[in-house]
Amino acid sequence: QKEVEQNSGPLSVPEGAIASLNCTYSDRGSQSFFWYRQYSGKSPELIMSIYSNGDKEDGRFTAQLNKASQYVSLLIRDSQPSDSATYLCAVNSRSGGSNYKLTFGKGTLLTVNP
Protein backbone atom coordinates (compact mmCIF):
# COMPACT_ATOMS: atom_id res chain seq x y z
CA GLN A 1 0.00 0.00 0.00
CA LYS A 2 1.59 3.24 -1.13
CA GLU A 3 1.13 5.99 1.40
CA VAL A 4 1.69 9.70 1.50
CA GLU A 5 1.69 11.31 4.93
CA GLN A 6 1.19 14.96 5.83
CA ASN A 7 0.47 16.78 9.06
CA SER A 8 -3.18 17.79 8.81
CA GLY A 9 -2.56 21.05 10.69
CA PRO A 10 -3.87 23.57 10.93
CA LEU A 11 -0.60 25.40 10.46
CA SER A 12 -0.94 29.03 11.42
CA VAL A 13 1.69 31.64 10.47
CA PRO A 14 1.70 35.43 10.56
CA GLU A 15 1.69 37.41 7.34
CA GLY A 16 5.22 37.79 5.96
CA ALA A 17 6.55 34.67 7.69
CA ILE A 18 7.86 31.47 6.09
CA ALA A 19 5.40 28.57 6.02
CA SER A 20 6.95 25.10 5.96
CA LEU A 21 4.88 22.14 4.80
CA ASN A 22 6.16 18.58 5.00
CA CYS A 23 5.34 15.27 3.37
CA THR A 24 6.74 11.73 3.57
CA TYR A 25 6.03 8.84 1.24
CA SER A 26 6.40 5.10 1.56
CA ASP A 27 7.15 3.93 -1.99
CA ARG A 28 10.87 4.11 -2.80
CA GLY A 29 10.00 3.73 -6.48
CA SER A 30 8.23 7.10 -6.50
CA GLN A 31 9.53 9.30 -9.27
CA SER A 32 7.58 12.54 -9.40
CA PHE A 33 6.30 14.78 -6.64
CA PHE A 34 3.71 17.53 -6.76
CA TRP A 35 2.27 20.17 -4.48
CA TYR A 36 -1.32 21.18 -5.14
CA ARG A 37 -3.16 24.05 -3.46
CA GLN A 38 -6.87 23.65 -2.78
CA TYR A 39 -9.07 26.49 -1.63
CA SER A 40 -12.18 25.53 0.29
CA GLY A 41 -14.82 24.18 -2.09
CA LYS A 42 -12.50 24.38 -5.10
CA SER A 43 -10.47 21.87 -7.10
CA PRO A 44 -6.73 21.21 -6.62
CA GLU A 45 -4.40 23.57 -8.48
CA LEU A 46 -0.78 22.62 -9.21
CA ILE A 47 1.75 25.03 -7.73
CA MET A 48 5.03 23.07 -7.77
CA SER A 49 6.50 19.87 -9.17
CA ILE A 50 9.89 18.33 -8.41
CA TYR A 51 11.58 15.24 -9.81
CA SER A 52 15.20 15.19 -8.59
CA ASN A 53 16.91 15.62 -5.24
CA GLY A 54 17.53 19.15 -4.07
CA ASP A 55 15.66 22.42 -4.18
CA LYS A 56 13.46 23.96 -6.85
CA GLU A 57 12.40 27.57 -6.56
CA ASP A 58 9.51 29.37 -8.26
CA GLY A 59 8.79 32.85 -6.97
CA ARG A 60 7.88 32.66 -3.29
CA PHE A 61 7.67 28.86 -3.40
CA THR A 62 10.53 26.39 -2.91
CA ALA A 63 10.07 22.63 -3.14
CA GLN A 64 12.69 20.36 -1.56
CA LEU A 65 13.14 16.66 -2.28
CA ASN A 66 15.24 14.07 -0.46
CA LYS A 67 14.64 10.64 -1.97
CA ALA A 68 16.96 8.87 0.49
CA SER A 69 14.79 10.10 3.37
CA GLN A 70 11.58 9.80 1.30
CA TYR A 71 10.75 13.36 2.20
CA VAL A 72 9.44 16.30 0.23
CA SER A 73 8.66 19.76 1.53
CA LEU A 74 7.25 23.09 0.39
CA LEU A 75 8.40 26.44 1.71
CA ILE A 76 6.31 29.55 1.17
CA ARG A 77 8.22 32.76 1.77
CA ASP A 78 6.57 36.10 2.62
CA SER A 79 3.28 34.30 3.32
CA GLN A 80 0.14 36.21 2.36
CA PRO A 81 -3.44 35.79 3.58
CA SER A 82 -4.30 34.65 0.04
CA ASP A 83 -2.01 31.63 0.63
CA SER A 84 -4.50 30.34 3.20
CA ALA A 85 -5.64 26.99 1.76
CA THR A 86 -5.12 23.26 2.05
CA TYR A 87 -1.85 22.07 0.51
CA LEU A 88 -1.88 18.58 -0.93
CA CYS A 89 1.26 16.54 -1.48
CA ALA A 90 0.96 14.07 -4.37
CA VAL A 91 3.28 11.36 -5.61
CA ASN A 92 3.32 9.63 -8.99
CA SER A 93 4.84 6.18 -9.10
CA ARG A 94 5.08 3.98 -12.11
CA SER A 95 4.84 0.44 -10.87
CA GLY A 96 4.50 -1.53 -14.06
CA GLY A 97 2.03 -1.25 -16.87
CA SER A 98 0.40 2.10 -17.37
CA ASN A 99 0.17 3.18 -13.78
CA TYR A 100 0.33 6.97 -13.80
CA LYS A 101 -2.04 7.71 -10.97
CA LEU A 102 -1.35 10.25 -8.26
CA THR A 103 -1.39 9.23 -4.62
CA PHE A 104 -2.32 12.16 -2.38
CA GLY A 105 -1.78 12.92 1.26
CA LYS A 106 -4.68 14.20 3.34
CA GLY A 107 -3.45 17.76 3.01
CA THR A 108 -2.22 20.42 5.44
CA LEU A 109 -4.49 23.36 6.19
CA LEU A 110 -2.47 26.59 6.20
CA THR A 111 -3.81 29.80 7.72
CA VAL A 112 -1.91 33.06 7.21
CA ASN A 113 -2.97 35.67 9.74
CA PRO A 114 -2.89 39.36 8.70
Partner 1 sequence: GAGVSQTPSNKVTEKGKYVELRCDPISGHTALYWYRQSLGQGPEFLIYFQGTGAADDSGLPNDRFFAVRPEGSVSTLKIQRTERGDSAVYLCASSFGIRDTQETQYFGPGTRLLVL
**What are the residues binding partner 1 (CB under 8 A)?**
4, 8, 31-32, 34, 36, 42-46, 49, 51, 88, 90, 92-94, 97-107
Q: How far is the CB of 16 from partner 1 (least distance, A)?
A: 28
* Closer Cβ to partner 1, 17 or 111, answer by number: 111
Dihedral of the CA atoms 87, 88, 91, 97 (nearest 10)? -150
Cα separation of 93 and 73, whole Å? 18
- CB neighbour class for 43 (10 Å; exposed up to 12, middle 13-18, buried from 19): exposed
* Closer Cβ to partner 1, 4 or 110, answer by number: 4
SS3 66: strand
Q: How far is the CB of 17 from partner 1 (least distance, A)?
A: 25
* Closer Cβ to partner 1, 31 or 53, answer by number: 31
